[in-house]
């Protein structure tokens, strides 16, 4: 099986799982509905993205056992809706508004930057140093962190934030560093790295070179 199969299954099951929790706990308040709309829609968009501009890193073949283990790990992302719905707590409206705003911004950065990466590399190889990647080398990961931060905020509990931090430490950051190591083979990378942040955008140039210069080659992870 491909690694994307267990990921896509998790995304597809998220909306039914959240709705099932709402039915089981008889909780149809504002918080659960907002969570269902945000996380459920995120899962649907992930499946659409996989059909329109799939990520090559999820195309690799993996043993079924690893896929099952991966599915179990991804279930940790369902802790937030479980806490929100089972506790019966009602997030205040300002918190709901903030969570929605952070989530929407994350979706924009995540899916739009992945689209730029996919279609740029489809027609030319090299470093991608413009657009979403001009000042941040991992805009897609930044977007994903914002997405799950919004989900965690709605739960109003520390555990979803700890889980997100665990994913960042064990998966996101190692992948970012691995990507940097891979891109270091390009002569232009040192200059690009000096003028872009690993995760957060670098707003000020560190050198006189312009990372948006058309002479730069284009590529990302």
Q: Does residue 206 surpass a pLDDT of 80?
A: no
214 vs 106, residue with greater confidence: 106
Residue 76: helix, strand or coil by DSSP?
helix
Burial of 197: CB neighbours in 10 Å, binned 0-12, 13-18, 19+: middle
| Cα three-residue angle 197-200-206, rounded to 5 degrees | 35
In the block, tokens 């459920």 appear at 40
Provide the pLDDT for residue 207: 56
Say how far apart CA 113 and CA 81 lie, in whole Å.
27
Q: pLDDT of 100-158, one tens digit each?
A: 999 999 999 999 999 999 999 999 988 999 999 999 999 999 999 999 999 999 999 99
125 vs 42, residue with greater confidence: 42
* Residue % of the chain over a pLDDT of 70: 93
**What letter does residue 200 receive in the DSSP assignment?**
S
Length of the chain: 221
Average pLDDT, the chain: 91
Using pLDDT thresholds of 50, 70 and 90, give the confidence band for residue 209. Answer: low
Tokens of 15: 């909306």
The pTM of the full predicted model, rounded to 2 decimals, is 0.89
Q: How many CA atoms lie within 13 A of 145 on its CB side?
A: 16
Using pLDDT thresholds of 50, 70 and 90, give the confidence band for residue 205. Answer: confident
Contact criterion met (CB below 8 Å) for 34 and 96 = yes
62-90 per-residue burial string, b: 16 or more CB within 10 A, e: under 16: beeeebeebeebbeebbbbbbbbbeeebe
**What letter does residue 2 receive in the DSSP assignment?**
B
Tokens of 172: 């996101």
Q: pLDDT of 168-193, one tens digit each?
A: 999 999 999 999 999 999 999 999 99
Mean pLDDT for the stretch of residues 53-58: 87
**Strand intervals (E) in 9-135:** none
Using pLDDT thresholds of 50, 70 and 90, give the confidence band for residue 60. Answer: confident
**What letter does residue 52 receive in the DSSP assignment?**
H
Residues 6+ positions from 96 with CB-CB distance below 8 Å = 30, 31, 34, 154
């Amino acid at each position: 099986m491909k690694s994307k199969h267990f990921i896509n299954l998790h995304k597809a099951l998220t909306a039914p799982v959240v709705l099932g929790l709402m039915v089981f706990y008889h909780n149809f308040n504002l918080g659960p509905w907002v969570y269902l709309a945000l996380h459920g829609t995120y899962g649907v968009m992930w499946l659409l993205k996989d059909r329109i501009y799939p990520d090559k890193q999820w195309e690799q073949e993996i043993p079924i056992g690893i896929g099952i283990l991966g599915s179990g790990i991804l279930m940790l992302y369902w802790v937030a809706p479980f806490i929100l719905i089972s506790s019966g707590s009602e997030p205040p409206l300002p918190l709901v508004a903030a969570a929605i705003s952070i989530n929407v911004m994350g979706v924009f950065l995540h899916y739009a930057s992945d689209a730029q990466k996919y279609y740029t590399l489809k027609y030319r190889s090299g470093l991608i140093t413009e657009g979403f990647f001009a000042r941040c080398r991992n805009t897609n990961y930044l977007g994903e962190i914002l997405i799950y931060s919004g989900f965690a905020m709605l739960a109003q509990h520390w555990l979803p934030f700890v889980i997100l931090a665990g994913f960042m430490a064990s998966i996101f950051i190692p992948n970012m560093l691995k990507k940097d190591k891979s891109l270091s083979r390009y002569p232009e990378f040192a200059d690009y790295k000096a003028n872009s942040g690993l995760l957060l955008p670098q707003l000020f140039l560190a050198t006189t070179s312009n990372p948006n210069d058309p002479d730069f080659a284009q590529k990302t992870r």
